């Protein structure tokens, strides 16, 4: 009879006290935990590489743990190598994507928090597929550690993280908050929460909870419509948490945390880009506490939606601006050659639209 041998656990799945206990049980002082984690953050590709650890410990670690829970499946590059998309296999077989975007003074990673998404927005490729499962905190962290590992030889560090990949982060709340704390851990990557954007379709109770976490992340709300009947269709969770309640909660979040909220608006030609939409948005949002990011829709197969023309996008942005709101627009069409990077990458682009003052630099692409 063949007995399947189980893969050892990823070292990142151990909490820091668990790692210290493991080290202690192997006759090692507590400070080794910090050394090991420092190596993970600096991009070590194996335990053997951690040369300031005793050889016996390196061998024990190699026998007991994997370096990461993620197995890279494919990597594709775009923008002359400035953008790279990784597809990973998780334990159990599901796959998720993450995208690294290199800019002159920062490097942003767009990460996934779930396999698929239970919200089911009709314009979104992830929403069209079946929901798989929540990612664990270490599976979210491992996306960042792997990106850091790939960046290390080029002398780049990961500076920003956006939860704009697959999934609804607020529907996997505990793991997402834990992963934010891990990303911020100075013994690991030390990415300030101010440089982390959590994007949500609007799970009101979780936004309230997040405001109480003392975690100064940037909140992005995927609005896409400023009247309930349209938003009920575009973002179905709106039927449970309608606009007035969502915007009130986001405003409270901004007041409690002192951090301006970002409102995402995927522009769908003929659906949510009319003068009426601009008026409704102007009435709904408070200019001092909000910033609107317009994102031209990135085509998804088997849907009826269309992206806006450049002119109509400019007109829509101007209309919103004339209602007193701060607006940023990203034109992604110059990069259509990279369409293979698909929707996930389009979302990562939006991260560059988050307004100044929240740790991100202003957009560097062609803003309208």
Question: Which residues participate in catalysis according to the annotation?
Answer: 97, 341
Tell me what percent of the chain is helix, strand and coil, each rounded to the nearest 5.
40, 20, 40
With CB under 6 A as the contact rule, the residue among 83, 107, 126, 298 that binds ligand SF4 is 126
Phi then psi for 367, rounded to 5 degrees?
A: -90, 140
- Give the three-class secondary structure for 327: strand
Structure tokens that stand for 267 in this block:
């522009």
Residue 127 interacts with ligand SF4 (CB under 6 A)?
yes
Residue nearest to ligand SF4 as judged by C-beta position: 127
Closest distance of CB 97 from ligand SAH, Å: 12
Using the rule CB under 6 A, give the single segment among 11-19, 118-126, 251-259, 356-364 that binds ligand SF4.
118-126
Q: What does the radius of gyration of the chain's CA atoms come to, in whole angstroms?
A: 21
Which partner, ligand SAH, ligand SF4, none, binds residue 36 by CB below 5 to 8 Å per kind? none
> In angstroms, rounded to a whole number, what is the distance separating the alpha carbons of residues 300 and 302?
7
- Give the three-class secondary structure for 262: strand
With CB under 6 A as the contact rule, the residue among 177, 201, 225, 285 that binds ligand SF4 is 201
Site map for ligand SF4, 23-42, x if CB under 6 A?
Answer: --------------------
Using the rule CB under 6 A, give the single segment among 22-30, 48-56, 121-129, 288-296 that binds ligand SF4.
121-129
Structure tokens that stand for 287 in this block:
């200019």
Residue 121 interacts with ligand SF4 (CB under 6 A)?
yes
Q: Which helix (H) or strand (E) holds 295?
A: strand 290-296
Listed residue (297, 294, 331) closest to 316, CA to CA:
294
Nearer to ligand SF4, 14 or 90 (CB): 90
Nearer to ligand SAH, 39 or 123 (CB): 123
Nearer to ligand SAH, 28 or 272 (CB): 272
Euclidean distance between the first and final Cα of the chain, in Å? 65
Closest distance of CB 3 from ligand SF4, Å: 40
Q: Which residues bind ligand SAH (CB under 6 A)?
A: 117, 123-124, 164, 168, 199-201, 222, 264, 266, 295, 297-298, 300, 343, 346-347
Helices (H), the chain: 16-25, 31-42, 55-64, 125-128, 137-151, 173-184, 204-211, 228-234, 243-257, 275-284, 310-322, 342-351
Residue 120 interacts with ligand SF4 (CB under 6 A)?
yes
With CB under 6 A as the contact rule, the residue among 97, 142, 146, 168 that binds ligand SF4 is 168
Structure tokens that stand for 179 in this block:
């992963």
Residue 220 interacts with ligand SF4 (CB under 6 A)?
no
Which partner, ligand SAH, ligand SF4, none, binds residue 277 by CB below 5 to 8 Å per kind? none
Residue 234 interacts with ligand SF4 (CB under 6 A)?
no
Count of residues of this chain found to bind ligand SF4 when the rule CB under 6 A is applied: 11
Edge-to-edge strand ranges of the sheet holding 83-89: 71-78, 83-89, 95-103, 106-110, 160-163, 196-200, 218-222, 261-267, 290-296, 327-329
Site map for ligand SF4, 98-117, x if CB under 6 A?
Answer: -------------------x
- Give residues with Cβ within 8 angstroms of 142, minimum separation 6: 10, 12, 68, 69, 70
> In angstroms, rounded to a whole number, what is the distance separating the alpha carbons of residues 124 and 127?
5
Residues of this chain that bind ligand SF4 (CB under 6 A): 117, 119-121, 124, 126-127, 167-168, 201, 222
């Amino acid at each position: 009879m063949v007995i399947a041998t189980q893969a050892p656990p990823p070292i990142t799945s151990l909490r820091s006290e668990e790692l210290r206990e493991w080290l202690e049980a192997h006759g090692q002082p507590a400070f080794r935990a910090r050394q090991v984690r420092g190596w993970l953050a600096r991009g070590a590709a194996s335990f053997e590489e951690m040369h300031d650890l005793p050889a016996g410990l390196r061998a024990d670690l190699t026998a007991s743990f994997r370096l990461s829970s993620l197995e890279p499946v494919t990597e594709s590059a775009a923008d002359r190598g400035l953008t790279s998309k990784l597809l990973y296999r998780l334990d159990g077989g599901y796959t998720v994507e993450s995208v690294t975007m290199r800019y002159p003074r920062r490097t942003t990673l767009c990460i996934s928090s779930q396999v698929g998404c239970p919200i089911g927005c009709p314009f979104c490729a992830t929403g069209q597929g079946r929901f798989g499962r929540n990612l664990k905190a270490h599976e979210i962290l491992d996306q960042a550690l792997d990106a850091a590992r790939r960046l290390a030889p080029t002398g780049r560090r990961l500076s920003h993280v956006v939860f704009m990949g697959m999934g609804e982060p607020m529907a996997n709340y505990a793991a997402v908050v834990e992963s934010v704390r891990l990303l911020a851990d100075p013994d690991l990557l030390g990415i300030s929460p101010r440089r982390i954007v959590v994007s949500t379709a609007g799970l009101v109770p979780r936004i309230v909870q997040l405001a109480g976490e003392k975690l100064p992340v940037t909140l992005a709300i995927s609005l896409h419509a400023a009247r309930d009947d349209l938003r009920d269709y575009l973002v179905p969770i709106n039927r449970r948490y309608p606009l007035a309640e969502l915007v009130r909660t986001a405003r409270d979040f901004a007041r409690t945390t002192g951090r301006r909220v970002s409102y995402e608006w995927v522009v769908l030609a003929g659906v949510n880009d009319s003068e009426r939409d601009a008026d409704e948005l102007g009435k709904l949002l408070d200019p001092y506490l909000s910033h609107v990011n317009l994102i031209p829709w990135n085509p998804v197969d088997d849907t009826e939606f269309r992206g806006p023309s450049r002119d109509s996008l400019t007109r829509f942005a101007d209309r919103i601006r004339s209602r007193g709101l701060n607006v940023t627009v990203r034109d992604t069409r110059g990069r259509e050659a990279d369409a293979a990077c698909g929707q996930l990458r389009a979302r990562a682009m939006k991260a560059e639209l988050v307004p100044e003052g929240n740790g991100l630099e202003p957009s560097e692409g062609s803003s309208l």
